Amino acid sequence: MHQYRSGYPGLNSLIDASPDWMRQYVPRELEDKVTSPTFSQSRDLDVLMVWFKRQNNQRATASPLDDLIKIVALDDHGCKFESYEIGYIGEGSQDVEIGTLYAFPRRQTTFKLQFVNVGDSFKSSKVIAQFEVRNPAHHDHPVWTATPLPATDRLAGLEVTLLGIEPKYGQPRFELVENGNPAQGWNFAGENYFDSTGNKASQLSGLCQRERVIRLSTEFYREANAHFAADETWTISGLKLPKDGEFVLASQTNMLQGVSLQLVALTGAGEFTYSNGIPTEATRQIDPNAPLTLGTIITHGSRPAGTPAVFIKGMPGLDFFPGGERFQVVSKLPHLAVRIRGAKENHRVQLVGSMEIQPTPDQFRSYQYRDIYLFPIGKSFTGEEIKLTFIVQKSRTAIFTIGRP
């Protein structure tokens, strides 16, 4: 029985390159995606996939982080490119692990690849293996020309001016103008940095300092109290919150900005077992020591800052007996389960008064199992009947090619 378990985005984007012998480890539904061992830029991913095995790997440890490692690529002049994004395909104890690096020494024909055990404390690390590897993506790269600052990008009425970048931490500074006036009600969603070789990093320090011209991609989205068009919002009225330890199934659906929203269930507080995407069992009792889903820990490469009010418990698994895929939810507050499909990278989905998410298909996170997302229903929802308002919007992206500060 083959299973794939991953802590990073995109089950369908996992296999970009693999040798023929890997086919025996691949689930049947992914066999047609196995290709020859070459570097691939398919599925809009330009990443390095590292396939490896660890002998005598004992995963049943006291802490799920005891055997956590990171992968480090080193270039000839000391720049480090790190990644914690590691999933694995397994058959019993025969695990083949797959690491993903979005940045690595692309200008070199070969480079060093280290496997570093970071341990449970994250305060110390130990190199457990090092290899000299061939660069499968080595080729000529374009030459970028920097735009002097301040630089402005115009986005359908919104003007984003980059004033500068704080050199130590890479924090950008902006000025926003909308329709000729200082912009109100816009949030900065984050940034990504690129170099001309194709490397991508969420922080400026993730790129080698020898890359003197970089590209900064920034995202902005509107706050919940901003103006939204009719095809960006959906309000559902007349819903009643179930009692603790109970749930009601829902079926309302809508399409906003190309994103499909389907209400699945509304629950009280308690613990709930989901099977095939819907709750089937419920109890008022909550396990005070319930662990967060391991997928969340692997994805971020660090411990969560705190336990959320609603989260998936432990490691979701596949149950091939009647009931199908199952997962358990710890819900200290009532929650709404929603199936979300069709979202792109620039979509944001918000339940007003609850939380805002950037849907990513096929992930396992504290609030997500594949295409099912869990929204807490907190104290802002009061009364015998509650009203829910969803906002779906596309963020706006400003791009600047600049000299490295």
The size of the chain, in residues, is 405
The whole-angstrom separation of Cα 30 and Cα 34 is 7
Range 36-43 contact pairs with CB under 8 angstroms and sequence separation of 24 or more? 38/136, 39/136, 39/137, 40/16, 42/16, 43/10, 43/12, 43/13, 43/16
C-alpha neighbours within 13 Å on the C-beta side of residue 404: 19
Q: Look up the pTM and report it.
A: 0.71
Encoded tokens for 366? 């504290």
Q: What is the DSSP letter of 166?
A: -
In the numeric block, which tokens belong to residue 308?
Answer: 């959320």
Which amino acid belongs to residue 133? V
- Measured over the CA atoms of residue 255, residue 261, residue 263 and residue 264, the dihedral's sign is positive
pLDDT at 38: 30
Q: Report yes or no: 239 and 386 within 8 Å, Cβ to Cβ.
A: yes
The two three-digit tokens of residue 154, written as one number: 């115009």
What pLDDT tens digit does each residue of the chain (405 aa) get?
233 333 333 333 333 334 444 444 444 444 444 433 333 333 345 889 888 877 655 444 444 444 678 899 999 988 999 988 877 665 555 567 888 899 999 999 999 999 998 865 556 678 888 999 999 988 999 999 999 999 999 988 899 999 999 877 778 999 999 988 999 999 998 899 999 999 999 889 899 999 999 999 999 999 988 889 999 999 999 999 999 999 999 999 999 999 999 999 999 999 999 999 999 999 999 988 887 764 443 332 333 346 789 999 876 554 433 445 789 999 999 999 999 999 998 999 999 999 999 998 877 788 999 899 999 999 878 777 899 999 999 999 999 999 998
If you write DSSP's letter for every residue of 334-398 in order, what string do you get?
Answer: -EEEEEEES--TTEEEEETTS-EE---TTEEETTEEETEEEEE--TTS-SSSEEEEEEEEE-EEE
Cβ-based neighbours of 148, under 8 Å, separated by 6 or more: none
What kind and span of H or E run contains 294?
Answer: helix 294-300
* Confidence at residue 11, expressed as pLDDT on a 0 to 100 scale: 34
